[in-house]
Amino acid sequence: MRHLAACILLTLLLVGCAAPADPDKAQESIQVIAMDTAMLITTYGERSSAAAYAAEDVIRDLEKQLSRTKEDSVVSQLNAAGRRMLVEGDLIPLLSSSGWFYELTSGAFDITVAPVVSAWGFTTDSFQVPSQEELHELLKLVDGSEVSVTPAYDDGEGTKATVRLGPGQSIDLGAIAKGYAANKVLEVFREYGLPRAKAELGGNVLVLGDRPDETPWRVGIQDPKRPDDPNGFIGVLELTDSFAVTSGGYQRYFEENGKRYHHIIDPSTGYPADSGLTSVTVVADCEMENGTMCDALSTALFIMGEEKALDFWRSGGVPDSNFELVLVTEDGRVLITEGLADRFVRDESSGYSYETIS
């Protein structure tokens, strides 16, 4: 009996003297299937588990509001309402941002392209090539300037605003919602005081701080020619405290009669964008609403093409926000803007030529 008591006492003493866990190394990693994509959230710090699951809650709440493929979402209700609806929550700032990027990109970013996207079957995965006559009629509904949001007001039960769509219009936030979600996830990470974290929301990546070994996070940019190769990169970005968002025609597509049709629709033509680019990556630091910006621009600049995209970057196209680009072209070039030159590791065996843009 004395021997047992002594063993218990020794065990308690050893436990009491054990070094506390290093909060920078405590880690939680969870997978989330939401917004029609697989997401991975990795958190560090003493509150890593709580932060990861709080981030998941935020993402699922946004999906309930913003997903066009969920019949009971706020966006689906707005589309069904036809023209006018009182809304609240995250849809208000997101619609305001969408209108702003519509103006900044001269219509290349346009959430009212929804009926055209549906005609191609990308909403339901029932792929088809619509007739020119059908597209001609649907393009009459594509005009982001028709969407209006009244000044938001607080009625004591939350912020509300009235949203108006043009006759017959519907909206699709797929090109901006995950970027907005990344902003909200960053807020969670900071609220929980995490020293470092990473969130991969489809083609949207957020990195907070650096890696546990105090080196930058490594974010690979997929080679559009090798979309099914998990290690098929045209290069790797070395980033801290950054958003990085990639849009590419290789991410979702179908083939008919030997021709490939991807999901990034040009609002001016109704067809998949034929811009000479195969992917666009937009990178910005973790300030302001840069997750939303990177997501919107990755789509808009893909549609605009190489020359206009670089002109937009050179002109500082987004007031009070800095961003950098990696463009991959159909003719085998990788263009890296100068602000990323020392943070981009090239894959010289990829078969691409590389150029730093100033």
pLDDT in tens, 308-322: 999 999 999 899 899
Per-residue model confidence (pLDDT) at position 18: 42
Pairing outcome for strands 84-88 and 159-164: antiparallel
- Of the pLDDT bands very low, low, confident and very high (cuts 50, 70, 90), residue 21 is low
Q: Of the given ranges (15-29, 108-122, 272-286), which has the lowest mean pLDDT?
A: 15-29
What's residue 25's pLDDT? Answer: 73
CA 144 and chain centroid, separation: 20
CB 310 within 8 A of CB 338: no
Mean pLDDT value across residues 202-219: 95
Region 132-156: what's the mean pLDDT? 93
Q: 20 pLDDT exceeds 70? A: no
What does the pLDDT average to over 112-116?
97
Q: Give the tens place of pLDDT for each residue, 32-73.
A: 999 999 999 999 999 999 999 999 999 999 999 999 989 999
| Residue 157: per-residue pLDDT | 78
Residue 36 Ramachandran class (φ > 0 left, ψ -120 to 50 alpha, else beta):
left
**Residue 269 CB coordination number (10 Å):** 13
Q: How confident is the model at residue 13 (pLDDT cuts 50, 70, 90)?
A: very low
Q: Answer whether residue 14 shows pLDDT above 80.
A: no
Burial class (CB in 10 A: 0-12, 13-18, 19+), 5: exposed
Instruction: Report which of 137, 141, 86, 85 is spatially closest to residue 111, judged by C-alpha positions.
Output: 141
Q: What is the per-residue pLDDT for 23?
A: 65
Instruction: Give the Å distances, CA to CA, from 173 to 26, 60, 67, 178.
Output: 35, 15, 7, 9
Does residue 15 carry a pLDDT above 50? no
Q: Residue 5 above 50 pLDDT?
A: no
Per cent of the chain over pLDDT 90 is 83
Decide if pLDDT at 132 tops 50.
Answer: yes
The tens digit of pLDDT for each residue in 273-312 reads: 999 999 999 999 998 789 999 999 999 999 999 999 999 9
Q: Which range among 107-116, 145-154, 279-288 has the greatest average pLDDT?
A: 107-116
Higher pLDDT pick, 129 / 231: 129
pLDDT at 230: 85
CA angle 154, 65, 152 (to 5 degrees): 20
